[in-house]
Amino acid sequence: MNCKEVFQSFEQLNVIIIGDIMLDRYLNGRVARISPEAPVPVLEWGSEENRLGGAANVALNVRSLGATPYLCGIAGQDAESSIMLDLLPAYGLEDRGIVCSPERMTTVKTRVIAGNQHLLRLDKEQTHDLTSAEAAKFMHTVVGLLNEKTFHVMILQDYNKGVLSAGVISRLLEEARLRNIPVAVDPKFRNFWNYKNVDLFKPNLKEVKDALQMPIDSDLGSLRKASELIRHRLENRITLITLSEKGAYLDDATEGKLYPTHRRNVADVCGAGDTVISIASLAMAAGLNKEEIALLSNLAGGQVVEKVGVVSVDPSQLQKEILSALLQPE
């Protein structure tokens, strides 16, 4: 693998990211005492920060890696959607793929943090599927983008917030097939089995256990069996199962292999899945082999868990880690 050439190839890619967008809000402060009203800590407020989350964080990772992202999702018509839309230009993202609906609220995940310690997360959201009118308007927006640009990969980022319903998924997969766009999926439980014939299917181990409803360990034999069951039902090309601190399992039907991760100081696992699907999708679209896809995914996912909160990958640090990994003896 020529690291420089890989990242140069990413710069040639247009990526359409479709799924559940959200606002990640961080309330940071200091805990110095316990409340006299209840046995809970009192947070002395320090700062508040809003970041792009969910599918929007995937778009940030894609942008950080040098490719051109086009983000499509649903927001409400509320104060939080205004904040989200105002954040997009600062990160080089357009809002043309965002549909704002008066019938929904913008998804907001508020994390209360003292130092580097998470104290609480508050979710403000609606998780029901889009109405038929919302789905029609959303698909009209997405298809308009698909007709206008040449895309090299489609990423479907599902957080079970209602955008990727069974009907919308079916329509998106058909649109991708008509245009020969490879599809990568980061699934959740509700629509796990609706992503038929995709190119890259990236669940984590918990999602696989929940979908198959059977005990699955992180050993090679158990993961190979799980991958076979998934491929039998979905007929996907590549299965990438992330295993948290144990790395990843990648199976392309010819061979399945475990790829252990490098030792890390884990501060926060939030957003690691977004980073992995981003770089794995770009690597697949750029024609890299499965060993290279696994290496990049492990290194990029491992990098972001060392930082507090949802962050995107640092490409310069990633390139240094790739070169270091390639120089290590087998």
Would you call 38 helix, strand, or coil by DSSP? Answer: coil
Token pair belonging to 323? 């070169």
Give the residue ranges of the chain where pLDDT is below 50: 267-268, 329-330
Burial (CB count <10 Å: 0-12, 13-18, 19+), residue 279: buried
Confidence (pLDDT) at 329: 47
> Nearest-CA neighbor of 300 among 287, 326, 327, 319?
319
Domain ranges of the chain: 3-22+53-108+127-327
Active site residue 95: no
Query: Which of 86, 268, 274, 314 does the annotation list as catalytic?
Result: 274
Confidence (pLDDT) at 327: 52
Confidence (pLDDT) at 307: 58
Helix %, strand %, coil % of the chain (to 5)? 40, 25, 35
pTM, full prediction: 0.92
**Per-residue pLDDT tens for 216-245?**
988 999 999 999 999 999 999 999 999 887
Confidence (pLDDT) at 66: 92
Confidence (pLDDT) at 268: 46
Instruction: Looking at the structure, give the CATH architecture of the domain made up of residues 3-22+53-108+127-327.
Output: 3-Layer(aba) Sandwich (3.40)
Confidence (pLDDT) at 203: 96
Confidence (pLDDT) at 74: 97
Distance CA 308, CA 305 (A): 7
**Per-residue pLDDT tens for 182-195?**
999 999 999 999 99
Distance CA 188, CA 160 (A): 6
